[in-house]
Structure 1
Amino acid sequence: MQKDLWGNIKLGKKKNYFSLDQIRERGITYGSSTLNDVELIMTLVGIEWEKTVTLMKLLGGLPGLVNASVEQIAAVKGIGKSKAMVLKAAVEIGQRLDKFKAIENPVIKAPQDVADLLMGEMRYLDREHFCVVLLNTKNQVLYQETVSIGTLNSSAVHPREVFKNAIKRNAACIILVHNHPSGDPTPSREDIEVTKRLKEAGKIVGIEVLDHLVIGNGRFVSLKMKGLF
């Protein structure tokens, strides 16, 4: 049986895939984890296999739902804006759950802790987002914010925007985080230069820049661990 690039059964003869009722019954009996990507979308919005496969091809799989607009999803015949909004709501719920922590103010002990905090929401972004994580004297997260949204391969950031809330919220130190939409977290020369400039600015205002993480698709690089600043 042939499968597509998402690991799902290729669209073909009807005998190669199940009806919506059969898929739902399987999910009820064996759990939703037994359903592939196409079957999950079918179950969520109640559309046929052919339309779901068309949607997945249009978006490039589940990650495409993150950046697709309601209008882009609704452009597939038979879906419409209501079902498109259901899919976007499901993505938003997933992202919020990914950020949820049992501890209200998680403690950052290592770069991996920061990656765990932000990887879910940043790995699929189609433009560079530059974020700042504010920490108190116990390295607990006080606040996190996006200070700049750029293009496919760059994000202009000014020290004023980076330190504005850090000063307002009495942060002891900050960690810089930005994503590479290419999925490759290798720091660029510009990434290193920006980090050094912001580190010097931090010395002036009395707020230490602890690290700068570059987020890729499931991977990250800590500039501090690499000795790059």
Structure 2
Amino acid sequence: MHNKFINQTTSHWPTTALQVLESAASIIAEKLNHQDVFTNPQSTKDFLTYKLGGYEREVFGVMMLNSQHQLIEFRELFFGTVDAASVYPREVVKAVLEVNAAAVIFSHNHPSGVSEPSQADKLITKKLTEALGLIDVRVLDHIIVGKSPVSLAERGLI
């Protein structure tokens, strides 16, 4: 009997921890996209944990969604250091317009594992929400990935 999990020569199986996480995120995205549940904070947190949880430096990403909140594209836009990443509203607006997104969910990781939103996290969320509001794009959430992901929307900060 052939067992595909034992066959190490199969090239389509992930070989590193980051590849495993990326594969898991792809599976979740496919499942969620068909079920239209990216408005569910827990499902979104799971997806983003797999996408960003393995990084050793801060990465800021944007889930760009259509009007039914189905994922058009997840894009990692900014890469920082172990405790900060510079985020530029102009670049976020350009990316959103490129794919004609109707709504977005922001995300970034805290490599320290501490998911509490900083004052800078709250400020950039406000700036981005204002910038995207000018072009009628809704900000649904900003999720910070750490040991336990935090949704700013669930905390009433969006």
Unaligned runs of 5+ in 2: 9-13
Contact 2:103–2:137 (Cα < 8 Å) also in 1: yes
What is the 5 A alignment of 1:13-28? Answer: none
Write the deviation string for residues 85-105 of structure 1: whole angstroms up to 9, x where unpaired.
xxx833244123212324483
- State the SS of the aligned residue for 2:33: coil
Q: Could you state the TM-score of these two structures normalised by the residue count of structure 1?
A: 0.58
CA distance 1:104–1:227, shift in 2 (3 Å):
closer
> Quick check: 1:89 aligned with 2:11?
no
Larger radius of gyration between Structure 1 and Structure 2 = 1
User: Which residue pairs with 2:121 in the alignment?
Assistant: 191
Match of 1:226 among 137, 155, 158: 155
* Structure 1: gaps of 5 or more residues: 1-27, 33-43, 45-87
Aligned partners of 1:199 and 1:224: how far apart in 2? 12
| Aligned residue runs from structure 1 range 29-48, under 5 A | none
RMSD (Å) for aligned C-alpha atoms: 2.2
When normalised by structure 2's length, the TM-score is 0.82
Identity %: 33
Amino acid at match of 2:63: V
- Whether 1:142 and 2:110 are equivalent positions in the alignment is no
**1:98 paired residue number:** 24
Runs of 4+, deviation exceeding 2 Å: 88-93, 100-107
Any idea what SS the aligned residue of 2:95 has? helix
**Is the 1:123–1:183 contact (alpha carbons within 8 Å) kept by the matching residues of 2?**
no
Instruction: Letter of the 2:24 partner, please give it.
Output: D
Greater strand fraction, Structure 1 or Structure 2: 2
> Which residue is 1:20 aligned to?
none
Q: Structure 1 residues 92, 211: closer, same or farther in 2, change over 3 A?
A: closer
Distance 1:125 1:104 in 2: 23
- 1:155 is matched with which residue? 85
Give, in whole Å, the separation in 2 of the partners of 1:185 and 1:104.
24
Residue 102 of structure 2 corresponds to which residue in structure 1?
172
Q: Which residue of 2 is the match for residue 83 of structure 1?
A: none
Shift of 1:129: 0.3
